[in-house]
Structure formats: structure tokens, C-alpha cells
């Protein structure tokens, strides 16, 4: 007997995008279901066992600031916390941790299975139900028909996935898991523009067969920096990574067997990422480098598997063994599972609105690797935005869109839907125009209020945030109201221009090498709220000038950026635009001037024509 | 949309050229010639007919430029026709009747070429300058821009900055990678080369801008001394006149002149006197501002002038020529002016004006002593280069690793301003440089 079931939002896929999408939608109070192949693979880290890094760590902090689940789970499962670029300035610090793969899954599953408004099912989806170009529901393998208002598809590399190990090709999503095929065919009928990408992984090694004796050790930070604004301590033991290097012998083995690699034999058509090249690519393209570093990353506290980061490969298994056995420390290593390259389909993200809803099928949202991105964090951030917007739309509320001046999430989604992707898209801090403003440390101050405004933030975080915000306001006020003259402050060892003009405490704090401890030495009456608050005050002072300038830039940016382009612009009648530009505008249908400006291949001059058209039109309407 | 316009000048001429650009060009040729397309890029004699009937309009040369190998990058055609008002009008009328065709706006062909990346921003500016050139020296300068000499210079600086910026960005985004060390120290040498070249370029006495816009002369002085008459005198001498733009503002009138092949703009300004009237005070302020911006001031007085020295403090007397007008009145020159060696003239009787002109020429020659090595031709260029140089100065103040992020920001902003100068701003270029130069991939 089958019975029709209904959910407001259905999420397909239990990866990082799916988890965050389901949780966000549920947090906004609409009934949500998550469908996946297997409960046990929810929150699986299919590639390297780490969360965060530059840009990526920023994304996790932003997800957390919007009360997402990734930050908290990453903190609970972290086994080697490191704050990257610790000494290079606060804006470019990126939190990162090695994760215990099984703990990560465990905590993620525990979290989602107990999430309010969320039901989780292990039942593969085999068919979509459409009515014309509107998605209405799904049919599962067990024969259930589920109706829904919104559907979020987060199927990662599972669309027509193809694994390459040497000449062997196996259709698959992740290793030993079936790819999703029928759904692709159904989507194809809507003429989505589909591209093909590839990514790769290294072989997995048996820890007990590695000789660690002479390998450099990379320790965890003594003073760990967390992903979640809610975390105040960690409980897991912290471990080290080890480092080893390839050598000329290894390089010659690779060169000799290059024809056997799937990447070089011509078997792989997909485009791989430049920042994560296979060891084959590294050896061929940078032949002058005598060695390449390899990080030996433990996959868990109670897991023998080691992930040798730096040697992703699609050479045949026996060559992989030969390579490993010629690397210091890996002479007798046992390969648990060979490395492979995987090719998969992605939907050109220019098919999406900024809400991540598709332009061609109403109520269908896409998030994660299916949109041509790579990385857990990028996937999760999209899941969050798709989940929020699906729920917002059901509640008939305004779309939730972050722009480039507000968040890395905004930078990423704007890049995706306006420029599309040429390689798997990864977040870098270089992509952010306002890098000094978009920091990991202030993600909550940038975003949590926006979450509160739409009812996305749960009580615990709300309380913590409000408290922090108020303390910070109070302290800033105190600092700006305390003044001191140059001659007096000199007695405390702080040198400023002796112009007789007194400075306030905030200005003193912006002097080189002055910290809050020095400020309290001068003004012992200043209260101490928390280390975090002091740090915020110090960072704000560190970037004084830069942040003011950036603020002015952002205001100017927002003025043009947010100028809305009416939906029904007839691009064909716009004079002075080339056909190429017109077809790009018609395809993407930018919503704002800012978005129009960032379309790949669109010049500022073309946008200027559009701008004058839009302005002229609005004047006409008034008249 | 396909655009068309008369590309040759207005007025009677032997031959006139109408240009057409856009996807409908082929249809336009077929409709008006009622024959097959001519061989691409070969001048072909054709009869030109009315589009809806077989009435002959004219006979002329048609050249067919299929895109993208055309000026605009789109399909284009040129109709070389007889240059009479009636012929031109008849053909333009017929073009307007063809679907999706419309008259081009000013500069639209070049704009289209810019969008289609047939030319870059600087070259487009150069073409604009060439079309507007009035003197030999302006023509030469415009051609130099079109040849890409300055754009090559700007781009090469930008490439150096980009390459060095990539070092910073790589280090920031890939802290665990095996990358070059001591970046803050090691990039300074490269950057310093760019910085000092930019500063050298900026220190050019604005010769390029003066060639483009004209050498600026402000006529200044008390009321009723004959400033306007002097300007009228210059603008009425036919040899000197190129064009006249009157009443650009309420209080300043300018005239474009060609003196010895050098472009000159002469301004007349409001008379200066002590005044309580708000509007008049504004006019005087404007006059003094014009004098400051000008390359040369002609300070005009008359023998009866009183109370004029109070505004000397607001003027750069070193770039001023003193003139006492109304010498025909046969009065004594004011003694206070003797120290400035004033030239006595009479505009009314055209006495001694040659001496004034030779003084002006002397100043022109000093200004345009070095006209070969100009790089900056517009205020826009100067602004961007100044911003760039100022961020590079900030960059040089960063010494410690703690300032790594700020140093990167300085370099980013400096690079961005050079990018705005040449019309390129794209993060993909930085990423491209990172991945080409360094082996990244943990």
C-alpha cells in the first residue's frame, strides 16, 4: 500500500550541501525531509579528511554565523586544529582542522536525526514529478510518492559519475557507491546546459606500514581556533601530520608511465582544478621542481587510514604502489585503496538565480558540487542558501541574498551564477574584493543579525550574539571617550607625533604594537569582558584607515550594485550592444547592475548602456 | 540591431561615405544593390536602388567587410556615394526603412569595436583624439596612442605588479605550499622600478594633456580694462581661429586658437574688484581658479587702474604676462607695475599686440619643449596613476610579516588602478598568474 506524503521542502542527498540545506529549511520552521541512499553515509567526507583553510575556513565561520551545522560538527570531530596565516594579519587567517572522518559523520548524523522539523529517510529517489516546468514531488525506490513545494537537489558527483584508475573505468559516485543516472536523464529534457569536470584523490595508505621515524612533524596549534562561535573547548586528542616529499626517482617513474594515466591517455574529457593538480600534472608541468611535498593526514583517531595529500593520481594501481615505495617513509607502505580520478556532470550554474533556484524549473534548487564547485565548505554554504531560500519562498518572504561586500558566500554565489565555472570552483580569499572586511573573526558581526531578522537563528546563539554585540558596543564607546596627550602616553612607551593633540584610546590602540594589555596599563578602569572582545577591538584598530576606505568603496559599490534591473528588459532593442553581449544578458537576465557588470565578457561600457536605459525608463515611468 | 551613419563630413563633397555595422549588413547590401554580395574587402562598383522599388538612387563603390575582420568586429559595409545632400538623404532614408536598422549615435562604431575587443580603451581614446585633432602636434600624439605606445607601457607596469601580487596572493591562499619566501622584501625591487617610472611619468608638466586639450591661457584683470576686447581681437584674426565656444559658463568664455601649430585655449574671465555682491564674488573666485589651472596668465590693466594688487597673492606671477591696455589714451603707466615689465598695447588701435604674441609664443615653446615623450594624455590617466603611485608608497612602508595582509591590499589597490587605466579588472588574471607560476596542490 502506498500513501501520498507531503513536505514543504524535500532535499535529495546527504552530503555537505544536503545536510546544511535540510537543517536551514527546518530551522526556518517549514516541514523538511532529507532523502539519501544510506543513513550511514550522511556527512561523509569523501575526499581529504579536513575542514577549512583559506577562504574555506571563512565560509564555515559564515555558515556558523547563520546557525548552520558544519562549524559545530567540525569542532567536535577536529583532531588537528591550525589557524593558517596566524602571523600575516587577521583578515587572511584561515581556520583549518584535520577531522576524524567517522566522528564527523557520527556527529552530523546525530545532529540531523534529532533536528526539529526535519525527517530523514534512506530511500533512493528514482524519479522527479513535474507538472509542466514546475517540480511537484519525487518517487522513491521503495515506491513512495512524496509531494513537496520545493525540491533541493544536492547530488554531488553522482550525476553520471565515472571513476578512472589507469585504464579501468567504473560508473560510480563515490568509491563503491552507485551513481545517480535516471534523474540526469529526466533533467536533460529541460535542456540544462551541462558540463563535465574531473577531480582526483590519492591512494589511501595503512598507517601501521609507514615509517614515521624521520619525517617532519606538523603539530596542532596549542591555542586552537574554533569554527563555531558556540564552541569554547575541544575534547578530542590532537594529533600531528607528517610531511614527506617526492623525489627524482619518483618523477622518472611517473614520466615513464605517463601514457597509462587516465588524464594523459585522453580518456578523461572533464576539466580538472588548477589548484589541486594530480601528481602527474605537477611532474609534467613543473619539471624543474626536484620534489613535491606530501602531507600524511590521519583520517581518524581510531582509523589506520592515512590520506597522503599531494599525490592525487589516476595511474594504474601497481604504478601507484611503485611510486609510494620510492618515497621516504613509505618504503613498505600498504595501499588500502588506490587513488582515482572521477569525472562527473555539473549543471552550468548560470542556469540558476542568486537564490540557487533553477531558471528553467520552478521550485527546483541546486546546491553543491552539482553546480561545478569543489570542497565540502563550498557545498555546505550553497546548501545553506538554497535551504533558506526554499523556506523563505514558502513563507512568502523576501529572498535571502548576500552580496560580495557582505560575505564570502555572497562572493561565491555571485561568481557562480554570473560567471559560470571553467574548472571546479574553489573559494580563495583573492576572489573577495573586500578581503579586509570579510574576515573569519567577524563572520557573526557581519551575518548573525541578518539571520535573526528572518528567524533563522536559534535561542542559544541568539543570546550569545546579542551579548557579544552589546559588550563590543559598550567597549567601543568607552575607548572613544578616553583621551590622552602625546607627552603623557609617551611615559607608557607609546610614541605618537608630539603635536599637542590628544588621542582617544581607540586611536592609541591603532599604533604599532599596542595591544589591549597596554591600553589597560594606561587606563586601568577599562573593564575586561572577554579575550574575544579584546581581539575584536585590536583587529578593528589594526585595520583603521583601510576599513574606512573599504567602507566608502562598499557604499559606492552598493549604490550601483543594488540598482535593480526590471525583469522585462528587451535587450534586443538596446542600441550599441553587440549580439554576443545581448545573448549573454538574455541568458543570465541579471537582477542588479552589479551582477550585470560581473558577467564574464561584459565590459563596463556595455553595462553603462544598460544603466542609462534603465534610468531613462524609470524617468519615463514617473512622467 | 544594425547601425548606419554618414562617416564623411557634412556639406557638399565629391564623395561621401556611409558606414553600416551589424548583423543585417548583408541584407542591406542585397536590398539596396539588388545583386549578390561583392567579394569581401574588394571595392566594387554597384548601382544603388531604393529599397522598395527599382528607382535608381546613385551609383557608387560598395565594400563588404564580413565580421569579425572589420573595424567593429561585426559585419560591416561602406557605401562610397556622390556627396550631395540629396543623394545622402535618399540613402539614409532608405536605410531607415530596412528592419532593425537605425542611425548610429556619435562614436558608436568605435564603442562597438571596444565592446568586441577589437581595440582597447586607450586606443579608443586615441581614435577619438585623432578625429578631434585640430593641429599637427595633436594629430601626431593621437597616432602615437593608437599605435599602442602608452598602452604598452601601462600594461607592462601592470604585468609586473600582477606578477608580484600573485606572490602575495599565493602565499595567503596557500600557506602550506612550498612557495618562495621573504616576499615582502624580495618584491620591493621590482615594485620600486614601477613606482619610480610612474612618478617620472607623472612629472611631465602635463604636456600630453596640454597637447590634447590646448595650452591654457587665462586673461585676468580688473573690470573694464579691455579683457574681452583682447579676446575678441584674437578670435577675430582668422589665421588664429579654430573654433569658438562661447558662454561655457556664466563667467568664463573660451576660444580655441592655433598659434604656430600649438593648440591654445584662451579664457576670458570676470573682472576682478572688491565686491560685496555674492554673485560677483563667485565669478571672481572662478576667475582666480581658472588662473591657477592655466599654463599662462595674461594680466590686463589700464593706466587708470587702481587697487589691483590685493589679488596678486592668489596668483602665480611667474606664469603671468603683464599688459597695460589703452596706450592710445597716452596716459602714464601705473608705477606699481614697472617692476613687472608690462607690455603697453592698444587693442583698439592694434598697437604692439605683436609683442604680446611673441611673449605668448616664447611661453609655448618652453612648455612644449619635450613633446616626444608624452604618456599621459588625459586627466583620467593622471588620476589613476597618482592613485596607483600613492598605494605603492603605502606598500613601501610595510616592513614586518604582521603587515603582510596590508601590503597585499596596497598592492591589490595599486594594481586595480592600473587596471582601470587600461580597462581591465579581473581576479581571474591573478589566479591565472598564481597557477602558472607556482606548483600549487597540497
- Which residues in chain B touch residue A55, judged by CB atoms under 8 angstroms apart? 173
pLDDT of A623 above 50: no
The CATH architecture of the domain made up of B127-204+376-435 is Up-down Bundle (1.20)
Which three three-digit cell numbers place residue A307? Answer: 590520506
Q: State the best of B2, B105, B115 to mutate against chain A, taking most chain A CBs within 10 Å.
A: B115
Q: Which three cell numbers stand for residue B381?
A: 590617466
Query: Which chain B residues touch A428 with a CB distance below 8 Å?
Result: 169, 173, 431
Domain range list for chain B: 2-104, 127-204+376-435, 213-367
- Cell 564603442: give the residue: B111
Can you tell me the distance from the alpha carbon of A112 to that of A122, in angstroms, rounded to the nearest whole number?
A: 13
> Using a CB-CB distance cutoff of 8 angstroms, which residues of chain A are in contact with residue B1?
572-575, 577
Q: Region A55-67: what's the mean pLDDT?
A: 98
Which residue among B115, B116, B430 places its CB closest to the CB of A430?
B430
Same fold, B2-104 and B213-367: no
The pLDDT assigned to A622 comes to: 35
Tell me which chain B residues have a C-beta less than 8 angstroms from the C-beta of A274: 431, 435, 440
Task: Please tell me the distance in Å from B381's CA to the nearest CA on chain A.
Answer: 17
ipTM here: 0.85
Q: In chain A, what is the straight-line distance between the N-terminal and C-terminal CA atoms, in Å?
A: 64
pLDDT of residue A213: 92
Angstroms from B54 CA to nearest CA on chain A: 30
Question: Are residues B115 and A581, on separate chains, in Cβ contact within 8 Å?
Answer: yes
Does B74 lie at the interface with A, CB-CB under 8 angstroms? yes
Mean pLDDT of A30-57: 94
Residue B254 is predicted with a pLDDT of: 77
> If you average pLDDT over residues A370-387, what whole number do you get?
97
| A309 chain-B contacts, CB cut-off 8 A | 442
Q: Do A285 and B403 touch (CB under 8 A)?
A: no
Q: Is the CB of B176 inside 8 Å of chain A's CB atoms?
A: yes
Confidence band, pLDDT 50/70/90 cuts, at residue A180: low
Classify residue B395 as exposed, middle or buried by CB count within 10 Å of its CB (0-12, 13-18, 19+).
buried
pLDDT at A198: 87
| A605·B111 Cβ contact <8 A | yes
pLDDT for res B401? 84
Predicted confidence at residue B114, as pLDDT, reads: 79
Q: Which residues does chain A have within 8 Å of residue B173's beta carbon, measured at their own beta carbons? A: 54-55, 428-430
Instruction: Sort residue B107 into left (φ over 0), alpha (ψ -120 to 50) or beta.
Output: left
CA distances A494 to A488, A524, B398, B430, Å, are: 9, 16, 19, 39
Q: Does B387 touch chain A (CB under 8 A)?
A: no
Mean pLDDT of A228-257: 94
Local confidence band at A175 (pLDDT 50, 70, 90 cut-offs): low
Q: Regarding the domain delimited by B213-367, which CATH topology (the fold level of the hierarchy) does it fall under?
A: Rossmann fold (3.40.50)
What is residue A291's predicted lDDT score, i.e. its pLDDT? 93
* Mean pLDDT of the residues in chain A: 90
Report, as an integer, the average pLDDT of A179-189: 75
CB B327 within 8 A of CB B351: yes
Q: Collect all residues of chain A within an 8 Å Cβ-Cβ radius of residue B427.
A: 430-431, 433
Does the distance separating the beta carbons of B405 and A91 come in below 8 Å?
Answer: yes
B12, with CB counted inside 10 A (0-12, 13-18, 19+), is exposed
CB contact under 8 A, B409 and A578: no
Phi and psi (nearest 5°) for A394? Answer: -65, -40
Mean pLDDT, residues A590-608 taken together: 74
Best of A576, A583, A600 to substitute, by most chain B Cβ atoms within 10 angstroms, is A576
Distance (Å) from the alpha carbon of A7 to chain B's nearest alpha carbon = 41
DSSP assignment of B214-251: -EEEEEE-BTTSSHHHHHHHHHHSTTTEEEEE--SSSS
Q: Which residues of B touch A281 (CB under 8 A)?
A: 441
How far off is chain B from A548, nearest CA to CA, in Å? 14
Percent helix, percent strand, percent coil in chain B, to nearest 5: 50, 20, 35
CA distance A553 to chain B (A): 11
What is the distance in angstroms between the Cα of B422 and the nearest Cα belonging to chain A? 12
Instruction: Read off the DSSP letter of residue B62.
Output: E
pLDDT at residue A176 above 70? no
Tally C-beta pairs within 8 A across A and B: 118
Pairing of strands B320-324, B296-301: parallel
Residue B283, min C-alpha distance to chain A (Å): 33
Alpha-carbon dihedral angle through residues B438, B170, A46, A344, given to the nearest 10 degrees? -60
The number of residues in chain B equals 442
Predicted confidence (pLDDT) at residue A396 exceeds the cutoff of 80:
yes
- Contact flag A282-B439 (C-beta cutoff 8 Å): yes
What are the cell numbers at B159? Answer: 604585468
Separation between Cα atoms, residue B5 and residue B19, nearest integer Å: 6
Cβ contact, residue pair B176, A84, below 8 Å: yes
Task: Report the Cα B402 to chain-centroid distance in Å.
Answer: 43
Q: What is the distance between the alpha carbons of residues A55 and A409, in angstroms, rounded to a whole number?
A: 10
Give the tens place of pLDDT for each residue, A523-540. Answer: 999 999 999 999 999 999
CA dihedral A24→A30→A36→A40, nearest 10 degrees, is 60
B105/A292 Cβ within 8 A: no
Dump strand ranges (E) for A418-500. 483-484
Report the range of poorest mean pLDDT among A128-137, A295-304, B315-324. B315-324
**Cβ-Cβ contacts under 8 Å, B3 against chain A:** 575-576
Residue owning grid cell 500500500: A1
The residue in chain B having the minimum alpha-carbon distance to the alpha carbon of residue A55 is B173
Residue A35 has pLDDT above 90, yes or no: yes
**Range A133-142, long-range pairs (CB < 8 A, 24+ positions):** A133/A190, A133/A360, A133/A361, A133/A362, A134/A361, A134/A362, A134/A363, A135/A361, A135/A362, A135/A363, A135/A364, A136/A363, A137/A10, A138/A10, A138/A12, A138/A35, A140/A35
- Closest partner residue to B115 (CB to CB) among A91, A92, A603 is A603
Q: What's the rounded mean pLDDT across residues A360-381?
A: 96
For A83, nearest residue in chain B (alpha carbons): B175
- Nearest Cα residue in chain A from B24: A579
pLDDT at residue B238, as a whole number: 43
**Residues in B touching A92 (Cβ below 8 Å):** 172, 404-405, 408
Q: What DSSP string describes A526-570?
A: S----HHHHHHHHHHHHTTTHHHHHHHHHHHHHHHHTPBPPTT--
DSSP A335: E
Residues 78-137, chain B: which have Cβ within 8 Å of A?
A: 102, 105, 108, 111-112, 114-116
- Check CB contact of B236 with chain A, cutoff 8 Å: no
Query: For residue B435, what is the nearest residue in chain A, using CA coordinates?
Result: A274
On the question of pLDDT at A216 being above 70, the answer is yes
Give the residue from chain B lying closest to A573, CA to CA.
Answer: B1
- Fold adopted by B2-104: Gyrase A; domain 2 (3.30.1360)
Q: Is B426 on the interface with A (CB under 8 A)?
A: no
**Res B252: pLDDT:** 59
Residue-level pLDDT, tens digit, chain B, 442 residues: 899 999 987 778 899 999 999 999 999 999 999 999 999 999 999 999 998 888 999 999 999 999 899 999 999 999 999 999 999 999 999 999 998 898 887 778 887 887 788 888 888 888 888 888 888 888 989 999 899 888 899 999 999 999 999 999 999 999 888 888 888 889 999 999 999 999 999 988 888 888 888 899 999 888 788 888 888 888 765 433 333 443 333 455 778 888 888 889 888 887 777 777 777 777 778 888 888 889 999 998 888 766 667 777 778 888 899 999 888 887 777 777 788 888 999 988 888 888 998 899 888 888 887 777 788 988 889 999 999 999 999 999 998 888 899 999 999 999 999 988 887 766 666 666 666 666 666 5
B172 contacts A92? CB cut-off 8 A: yes
Calculate how close chain B gets to A24, using CA atoms only, in Å: 29
Query: Does the pLDDT of residue A236 top 80, yes or no?
Result: yes
Question: CA A51, CA A100: separation in Å to the nearest integer?
Answer: 10
Amino acid at each position: 500500500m502506498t500513501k501520498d506524503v507531503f513536505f514543504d521542502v524535500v532535499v535529495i542527498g546527504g552530503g555537505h550541501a544536503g545536510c546544511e540545506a535540510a537543517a536551514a529549511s527546518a530551522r526556518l520552521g517549514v516541514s523538511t525531509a532529507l532523502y539519501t541512499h544510506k543513513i550511514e553515509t550522511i556527512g561523509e567526507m569523501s575526499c581529504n579528511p579536513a575542514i577549512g583553510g583559506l577562504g574555506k575556513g571563512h565560509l564555515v565561520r559564515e555558515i556558523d554565523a547563520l546557525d548552520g551545522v558544519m562549524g559545530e560538527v567540525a569542532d567536535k570531530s577536529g583532531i588537528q586544529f591550525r589557524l593558517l596565516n596566524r602571523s600575516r594579519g587577521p583578515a587572511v587567517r584561515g581556520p583549518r582542522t584535520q577531522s576524524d572522518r567517522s566522528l564527523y559523520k557520527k556527529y552530523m548524523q546525530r545532529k540531523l536525526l534529532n533536528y526539529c522539523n526535519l525527517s530523514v529517510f534512506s530511500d533512493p529517489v528514482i524519479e522527479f514529478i513535474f507538472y509542466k516546468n514546475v517540480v511537484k514531488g519525487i518517487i522513491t525506490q521503495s515506491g513512495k510518492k512524496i509531494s513537496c513545494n520545493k525540491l533541493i537537489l544536492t547530488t554531488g558527483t553522482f550525476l553520471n559519475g565515472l571513476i578512472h584508475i589507469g585504464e579501468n573505468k567504473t560508473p560510480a559516485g563515490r568509491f563503491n557507491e552507485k551513481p545517480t543516472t535516471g534523474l540526469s536523464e529526466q533533467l536533460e529534457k529541460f535542456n540544462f546546459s551541462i558540463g563535465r569536470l574531473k577531480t582526483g584523490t590519492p591512494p589511501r595508505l595503512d598507517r601501521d606500514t609507514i615509517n614515521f621515524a624521520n619525517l617532519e612533524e606538523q603539530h596542532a596549534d596549542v591555542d586552537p581556533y574554533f569554527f563555531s562561535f558556540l564552541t569554547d573547548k575541544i575534547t578530542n586528542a590532537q594529533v600531528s601530520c607528517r610531511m614527506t616529499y617526492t623525489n627524482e626517482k619518483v618523477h622518472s617513474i611517473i614520466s615513464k608511465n605517463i601514457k597509462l594515466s587516465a588524464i594523459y591517455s585522453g580518456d578523461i574529457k572533464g576539466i580538472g582544478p588548477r589548484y589541486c593538480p594530480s601528481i602527474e600534472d605537477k611532474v609534467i608541468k613543473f619539471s624543474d621542481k626536484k620534489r613535491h611535498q606530501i602531507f600524511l593526514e590521519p583520517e581518524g583517531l581510531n582509523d589506520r587510514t592515512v590520506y597522503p595529500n599531494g599525490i592525487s593520481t589516476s595511474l594504474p594501481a601497481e604504478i601507484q604502489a611503485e611510486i609510494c615505495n620510492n618515497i621516504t617513509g613509505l618504503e613498505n607502505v600498504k595501499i588500502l585503496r588506490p587513488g582515482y580520478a572521477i569525472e562527473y556532470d555539473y549543471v552550468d550554474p548560470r542556469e540558476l538565480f542568486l537564490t540557487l533556484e533553477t531558471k528553467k524549473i520552478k521550485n527546483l534548487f541546486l546546491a553543491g558540487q552539482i553546480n561545478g564547485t569543489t570542497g565540502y565548505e563550498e557545498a555546505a554554504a550553497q546548501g545553506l542558501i538554497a535551504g533558506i531560500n526554499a523556506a523563505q519562498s514558502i513563507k512568502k518572504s523576501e529572498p535571502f541574498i548576500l552580496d560580495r561586500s557582505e560575505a564570502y558566500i555572497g562572493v561565491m554565489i555571485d561568481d557562480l551564477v554570473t560567471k559560470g565555472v571553467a574548472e571546479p570552483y574553489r573559494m580563495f580569499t583573492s576572489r573577495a574584493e573586500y578581503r579586509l572586511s570579510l574576515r573569519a573573526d567577524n563572520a557573526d558581526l557581519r551575518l548573525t543579525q541578518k539571520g535573526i531578522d528572518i528567524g533563522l537563528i536559534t535561542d542559544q546563539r541568539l543570546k550569545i550574539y546579542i551579548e557579544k554585540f552589546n559588550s563590543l558596543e559598550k567597549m567601543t564607546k568607552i575607548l572613544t571617550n578616553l583621551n590622552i596627550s602625546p607627552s603623557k602616553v609617551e611615559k607608557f612607551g607609546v610614541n605618537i607625533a608630539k603635536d599637542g593633540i590628544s588621542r582617544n584610546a581607540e586611536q592609541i590602540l591603532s599604533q604599532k604594537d599596542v595591544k589591549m594589555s597596554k591600553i589597560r596599563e594606561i587606563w586601568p578602569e577599562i573593564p575586561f569582558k572577554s579575550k574575544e572582545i579584546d581581539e575584536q577591538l585590536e583587529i578593528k584598530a589594526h585595520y583603521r584607515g583601510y576599513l574606512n576606505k573599504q567602507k566608502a568603496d562598499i557604499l559606492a559599490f552598493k549604490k550601483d550594485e543594488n540598482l535593480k534591473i526590471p525583469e522585462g528588459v528587451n535587450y534586443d532593442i538596446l542600441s550599441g550592444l553587440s549580439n554576443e553581449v545581448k545573448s549573454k544578458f538574455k541568458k543570465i537576465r541579471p537582477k542588479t547592475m552589479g551582477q550585470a557588470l560581473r558577467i564574464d565578457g561584459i565590459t563596463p561600457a556595455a553595462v553603462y548602456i544598460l544603466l542609462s536605459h534603465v534610468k531613462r525608463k524609470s524617468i519615463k515611468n514617473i512622467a | 540591431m544594425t547601425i548606419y551613419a554618414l562617416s564623411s563630413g557634412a556639406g557638399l563633397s565629391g564623395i561621401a561615405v556611409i558606414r553600416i555595422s551589424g548583423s543585417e549588413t548583408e541584407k542591406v547590401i542585397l536590398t539596396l544593390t539588388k545583386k549578390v554580395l561583392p567579394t569581401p574587402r574588394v571595392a566594387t562598383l554597384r548601382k544603388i536602388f531604393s529599397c522598395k522599388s527599382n528607382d535608381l538612387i546613385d551609383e557608387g563603390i560598395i565594400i563588404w567587410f564580413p565580421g569579425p575582420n572589420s573595424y567593429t568586429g561585426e559585419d560591416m559595409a561602406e557605401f562610397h556615394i556622390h556627396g550631395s545632400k540629396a543623394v545622402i538623404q535618399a540613402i539614409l532614408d532608405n536605410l531607415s526603412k530596412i528592419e532593425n536598422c537605425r542611425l548610429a549615435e556619435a562614436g558608436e562604431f568605435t564603442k562597438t569595436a571596444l565592446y568586441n575587443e577589437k581595440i582597447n580603451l586607450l586606443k579608443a581614446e586615441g581614435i577619438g583624439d585623432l578625429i578631434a585633432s585640430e593641429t599637427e602636434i595633436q594629430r601626431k600624439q593621437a597616432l602615437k596612442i593608437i599605435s599602442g605606445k602608452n598602452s604598452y607601457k601601462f600594461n607592462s607596469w601592470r604585468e609586473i605588479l600582477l606578477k608580484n601580487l600573485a606572490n602575495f596572493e599565493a602565499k595567503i591562499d596557500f600557506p602550506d605550499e612550498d612557495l618562495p619566501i621573504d616576499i615582502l622584501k624580495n618584491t620591493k625591487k621590482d615594485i620600486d622600478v614601477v613606482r619610480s617610472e610612474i612618478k617620472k611619468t607623472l612629472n611631465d608638466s602635463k604636456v600630453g594633456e596640454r597637447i590634447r586639450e590646448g595650452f591654457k591661457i587665462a586673461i585676468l584683470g580688473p573690470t573694464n580694462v579691455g579683457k574681452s576686447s583682447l579676446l575678441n581681437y584674437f578670435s577675430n584674426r582668422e589665421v588664429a581661429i579654430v573654433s569658438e565656444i562661447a558662454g561655457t559658463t556664466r563667467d568664463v568664455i573660451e576660444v580655441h586658437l592655433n598659434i604656430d601649430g600649438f593648440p591654445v585655449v584662451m579664457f576670458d574671465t570676470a573682472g576682478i574688484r572688491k565686491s560685496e555682491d555674492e554673485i560677483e564674488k563667485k565669478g571672481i573666485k572662478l576667475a582666480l581658479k581658472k588662473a591657477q589651472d592655466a599654463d599662462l596668465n595674461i594680466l590686463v590693466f589700464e593706466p587708470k587702474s587702481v587697487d589691483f594688487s590685493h589679488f596678486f597673492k592668489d596668483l602665480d606671477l611667474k606664469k603671468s604676462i603683464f599688459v597695460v591696455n589703452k596706450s592710445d589714451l597716452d596716459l602714464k603707466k601705473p608705477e606699481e607695475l614697472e617692476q613687472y615689465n608690462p607690455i603697453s598695447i592698444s587693442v583698439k588701435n592694434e598697437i604692439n599686440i605683436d609683442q604680446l604674441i611673441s611673449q605668448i609664443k616664447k611661453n609655448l615653446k618652453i612648455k612644449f619643449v619635450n613633446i616626444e615623450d608624452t604618456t599621459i594624455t588625459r586627466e583620467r590617466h593622471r588620476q589613476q596613476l597618482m592613485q596607483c603611485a600613492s598605494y605603492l608608497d603605502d606598500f613601501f612602508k610595510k616592513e614586518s610579516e604582521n603587515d603582510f595582509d596590508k601590503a597585499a591590499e596596497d598592492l591589490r589597490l595599486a594594481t586595480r588602478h592600473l587596471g582601470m587605466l587600461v580597462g581591465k579588472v579581473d581576479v581571474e588574471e591573478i589566479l591565472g598568474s598564481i597557477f602558472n607560476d607556482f606548483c600549487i596542490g597540497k
